[in-house]
Structure 1
Amino acid sequence: MTVRTRFAPSPTGYLHVGGARTALFCYLYARRHGGQFILRIEDTDLERSTAESVNAILEGMTWLGLDYDEGPFYQTQRFDRYNQVIEELLAKGLAYRCDCSKERLEKLRVDQLARKQKPRYDGHCRNRSVDPRHPHVIRFKNPVDGVVIVDDLIRGRVPFANEELDDLIIRRSDGAPTYNLSVVVDDADMRITHVIRGDDHLNNTPRQINILRALGLEPPRYAHVPMILGPDGTRLSKRHGAVSVIAYRDLGYLPEALLNYLVRLGWSYGDREIFSLDEMIELFDLSDVNKAASSFNTSKLDWLNQQYLQRSDPARIARLLSPHLGQLGIDPATGPDLVEVVRAQAARAKTLVELAEISAFCYRDFEDFDPESAKKHLCQAAREPLERLRAAFELLAFEDWTSEQLKHVVEGVAQELKLNLGKVAQPLRVAIVGRAASPGIEETLRLVGKEATLRRIDKALAYIAEHGGEG
């Protein structure tokens, strides 16, 4: 048997992280078992489905690198096939027409709730003859007794009593097939062997199994993945922050870091935290997926992203960083080699956005000094070291503006003034960067360049003079 999985989002919004994790699990399972991964767009909700959402899903899949083997298939292009199956069920007496009014159904629901019963259709039209020319829906004739067993690959054996399942609608009065019918037909036609999806679909599974068996088809294997919770223990939603995959891209996360984080939301392999995509494919198995829900922890994602920023090819990170600098109004071509900046700064940032922000000083002068840094380091005692450094830097030829020479100058001034190196380097760092944090001082000076260094030291000396040496 060739394993075939599918990711089947509804295009009613962006690709969120919960959907992305489901897609990843489907992808990994198919790849590990030498199978195929199919993308299907479940767009039968005509009122809420949009082309913009379809594009957002495709863009998110592409950015994550989750390449699908077939698709995307669109359910709205398969209505004829669904209606063919519905007519087959009607002909076999396995479905029926229902013309119950909204008022009757609402009264039925209210009465059942009053009796503390689970609201469900009572089969009123199950054995009635309904004129097909009048408005009606089509309902599936669900078995009235027996048990449906969902042999779930994550949750284990889950039984459902048929008497608890009502005769669900499989075609609306407007002629549109419903979710449970179209999914069953698609999974059968596309030869899906493993349905991996969120556990919010678990209650749909026994209904879909019954429809499949009514059609004489063998159900696929099911695996229902527990939901992702927010830090407050409620279901992850917009109010918890950026939950769109593309939003994480725009916030400066790397796709491989997000994939690594998502695979660890509910799956583990010993104590390991970092996995390449190839390692995920080699090691992932549904039997290792937790049954309990997972909590989304942004600080853990930040840590992972920082690890990938440090370990990745600096040239690639530079390419990804460039547009984030552009967002700050910086043209990277006007300053130091961006790859060199990445080498110096990558370990200091959690995201590409942060990396761009802390690297801006390499390309343009800052507007203001960080107040705390200036108060501590740009005091009267820093005036003479800065003046000596400026004089020494001005004498350096441009070709001598190297890390080795710059380090020599800074250490020389410290020795001349009999000062601890920090008493010289820290005021210089604040003068050049605007704050008390940067790469090594010689590397910082090299990246900023001679002209900007002299100009910024002048600004720091003016600051000291203006504030009377009080910081």
Structure 2
Amino acid sequence: MHIRTRFAPSPTGFIHLGNLRSALYPWAFARHNKGDFILRIEDTDLERSSQEAVDVIIEGMAWLGLDLDEGPIYQMQRIDRYREVVKQMLDSGLAYPCYMSEEELNKLRDQQMASKEKPRYNGLWRPEPGKTLPPVPEGVSPVIRFKNPIGGSVIWNDAVKGQIEISNDELDDLVIARPDGTPTYNFCVVIDDMDMNITHVIRGDDHVNNTPRQINIMRALGGSPPVYAHLPTVLNDAGEKMSKRNGAMSVRDYQRAGYLPDAILNYLARLGWSHGDAEVFTKEQFVNWFDLESLGRSPAQHNPEKLLWLNHQYIQNSDPVKLAAATKPFAHEMGMDTEAGPDFVQVVSLLKDRANTLIEIAEGAKLFYLPAPNLTADQIKENIAEAVMPALKDLVEAISTAEPTKEAYAAVFKQILAKYQIKMPALAMPVRYALFATTQTPAIDSVLVVLGKDEAVKRLSKVVQ
């Protein structure tokens, strides 16, 4: 079997981590099995669909590296195909026009609920042998309903949930086309999955109730249902279903917050799937390890702290050149000219081990690209003790003749500390303040290397004059 999977979002809102997991797993399954991964945009809800939402979906998937073999395919561009199948179903008796008005349907549902019955269409317009249908009302455009089988059950072996059985008596005759001829979601999905030869449908378990309807339509049309794998819900950190309403961030938000795409992908992979005790792994490892048998059956819970920790791991282990390229846009947004000053790759290499996000790296980089502090005499007196000035003067002289390496600067500090019998903080804090007007920086010997000997001596000399 040639594996073909799909991600089929509705562009009716922004795409969050829970949505993206429903893209990641079918992508990984297709890649693991050398199959095809298809993006299908289910945009038949014209009132709620937007091009901006489509753009966010496509950009988010590209940012995560979820490459496509086909698509994006838009359902609205396939309307003629759906109408063709609706006509075939009407002609073959698989579907029928229903003239029950919205008002009549609502009244029926109210009566059923009052009688503690399940609200459902009662088959009034369903043609049956020997049945007389009501007279067709004038000027009313009907909906088209699928003739759902009566009696028996729909049974499928879900790759995550195991065997599921739904009685056909629980299912009424589904509307497959609206009065204006627009096809409905459950109908379009079936036609698309059949036409695109989808072999595995991996999606959220909020679709479980749709599955028996889709299987019945597919079988009525002579198709064979794909393998279904319904993923448990992703809950937010408060234990509620992840959604925009419950504070979920969009994929763009994570991008703007300075997260790395590989960290997001690693985190998403673990929201419902595992491979032994592996916590941090590459995209290649994930694809190699992925199978449906390792998908969990319990809801996964979003953990922002875990995601931030993972991002830190990826930043720590990133190639400095690539990390610098990813950080530059954030630095430029903060007004830094990364070409006027120390080598930006060196700056990023110095800062990356302590940073959780690219924004934190950019914030730290400000030290090296902002103008040198113009310290007043009062500021110097207040922040640098008079007693340490002799040691500071000797330090400046020693730095000016030392090799511009971390080891050489460390040796200079050691020599001055021994000469004046003082501790490292007593000397390093004044140096930091003289260089940047702050006492918080990475290791001072590394800072001197990155800032450059000439610039460091120039800034320090202003303080000790």
Question: What TM-score, normalized to structure 1?
Answer: 0.90
Q: Is the 8 A contact 1:160 1:206 kept in 2?
A: yes
Q: What is the distance in 2 between the residues matched to 1:53 and 1:358? A: 34
Q: What is the distance in 2 between the residues matched to 1:434 and 1:285? A: 55
Aligned to 1:68: 68
How far is 1:7 from its partner? 0.7
Local SS of the residue matching 1:332: coil
| Residues 1:461 and 1:105: Cα distance change in structure 2 (over 3 Å) | farther
Aligned to 1:338: 344
In the alignment, is residue 179 of structure 1 matched against residue 185 of structure 2? yes
How far is 1:119 from its partner? 1.5
Aligned to 1:278: 284
Q: What is the distance in 2 between the residues matched to 1:435 and 1:84? A: 72
Q: Which one-letter code corresponds to 2:343 in the other structure? A: D
| Residues 1:83 and 1:330: Cα distance change in structure 2 (over 3 Å) | same
Moved more, 235-244 or 117-126: 235-244
Q: What is the distance in 2 between the residues matched to 1:170 and 1:451? A: 75
Q: Which one-letter code corresponds to 2:220 in the other structure? A: A
How far is 1:435 from its partner? 4.8
| Residues 1:146 and 1:446: Cα distance change in structure 2 (over 3 Å) | same
| Residues 1:343 and 1:50: Cα distance change in structure 2 (over 3 Å) | same
Q: Is the 8 A contact 1:153 1:286 kept in 2?
A: yes
How far is 1:365 from its partner? 4.8
Aligned to 1:467: none
Q: Is the 8 A contact 1:432 1:445 kept in 2?
A: no
Q: What is the distance in 2 between the residues matched to 1:378 and 1:264? A: 54
Q: Is the 8 A contact 2:44 2:185 kept in 1?
A: yes
Moved more, 125-134 or 7-16: 125-134
In the alignment, is residue 445 of structure 1 matched against residue 448 of structure 2? yes
Q: What is the distance in 1 between the residues matched to 2:198 and 2:383? A: 74
Q: What is the distance in 1 between the residues matched to 2:8 and 2:435? A: 53
Q: 2:237 aligns with which of 209, 224, 231?
A: 231
Q: Which one-letter code corresponds to 1:266 in the other structure? A: G
Q: What is the distance in 2 between the residues matched to 1:409 and 1:435? A: 22
How far is 1:449 from its partner? 3.6
| Residues 1:455 and 1:396: Cα distance change in structure 2 (over 3 Å) | closer
Deviations, residues 334-374 of structure 1 (Å, cap 9, x unaligned): 121111112211110011011111221121158899xxxxx
Local SS of the residue matching 1:86: helix
| Residues 1:102 and 1:359: Cα distance change in structure 2 (over 3 Å) | same
Q: What is the distance in 2 between the residues matched to 1:91 and 1:132? A: 22
| Residues 1:296 and 1:460: Cα distance change in structure 2 (over 3 Å) | farther
Question: What TM-score, normalized to structure 2?
Answer: 0.91
Moved more, 44-53 or 256-265: 44-53
Q: What is the distance in 1 between the residues matched to 2:57 and 2:383? A: 58
How far is 1:455 from its partner? 7.0
Aligned to 1:358: 364
How far is 1:155 from its partner? 0.4
How far is 1:287 from its partner? 1.1
Q: Is the 8 A contact 2:402 2:409 kept in 1?
A: no
Q: What's the Cα RMSD here?
A: 2.7
In the alignment, is residue 246 of structure 1 matched against residue 249 of structure 2? no
Q: Which one-letter code corresponds to 1:46 in the other structure? A: L
Aligned to 1:469: none
In the alignment, is residue 255 of structure 1 matched against residue 261 of structure 2? yes
Aligned to 2:167: 161
Q: What is the distance in 1 between the residues matched to 2:445 and 2:417? A: 14
Q: What is the distance in 2 between the residues matched to 1:9 and 1:368? A: 55
Q: Which one-letter code corresponds to 1:233 in the other structure? A: G
In the alignment, is residue 216 of structure 1 matched against residue 222 of structure 2? yes
Q: Which one-letter code corresponds to 2:367 in the other structure? A: F
Deviations, residues 94-137 of structure 1 (Å, cap 9, x unaligned): 11111212211111122222222222111122133646963211
Aligned to 2:49: 49
Local SS of the residue matching 1:170: strand
Percent identity of paired positions between Structure 1 and Structure 2: 47
Deviations, residues 50-76 of structure 1 (Å, cap 9, x unaligned): 222211111111111111111111100
Query: 1:110-149, aligned counterparts within 5 Å?
Result: 110-127=110-127, 128=133, 130=136, 134-149=140-155
Task: Give the paired residue count.
Answer: 456
Local SS of the residue matching 1:191: coil
Query: Which structure 1 residue ranges, 5 or more long, are not aligned?
Result: 370-374, 463-471
Local SS of the residue matching 2:411: helix
Local SS of the residue matching 1:393: helix
Local SS of the residue matching 1:197: strand
Q: Is the 8 A contact 2:112 2:119 kept in 1?
A: yes
Local SS of the residue matching 2:339: helix
| Residues 1:459 and 1:204: Cα distance change in structure 2 (over 3 Å) | farther
How far is 1:453 from its partner? 4.1
Aligned to 2:79: 79
Aligned to 2:21: 21
Q: Is the 8 A contact 1:383 1:461 kept in 2?
A: no
Aligned to 1:2: 2
Aligned to 2:130: none
Moved more, 76-85 or 443-452: 443-452
In the alignment, is residue 314 of structure 1 matched against residue 320 of structure 2? yes
How far is 1:275 from its partner? 1.5
Q: 1:385 aligns with which of 385, 388, 396?
A: 388
Q: What is the distance in 2 between the residues matched to 1:391 and 1:41? A: 69
Local SS of the residue matching 2:154: strand
How far is 1:15 from its partner? 2.5
In the alignment, is residue 412 of structure 1 matched against residue 447 of structure 2? no
| Residues 1:380 and 1:255: Cα distance change in structure 2 (over 3 Å) | closer
Query: Which structure 2 residue ranges, 5 or more long, are not aligned?
Result: 128-132
Q: What is the distance in 2 between the residues matched to 1:359 and 1:378? A: 27
How far is 1:276 from its partner? 0.8
Q: What is the distance in 2 between the residues matched to 1:368 and 1:18? A: 50
Local SS of the residue matching 1:333: coil
Aligned to 2:108: 108
Deviations, residues 254-285 of structure 1 (Å, cap 9, x unaligned): 11110000000010111110111111111111
Query: 1:421-440, aligned counterparts within 5 Å?
Result: 421-433=424-436, 435-440=438-443
How far is 1:411 from its partner? 2.4
Q: What is the distance in 1 between the residues matched to 2:266 and 2:138? A: 53
Q: Is the 8 A contact 2:242 2:248 kept in 1?
A: no
How far is 1:457 from its partner? 5.4
Q: Is the 8 A contact 1:194 1:221 kept in 2?
A: yes
Local SS of the residue matching 1:196: strand
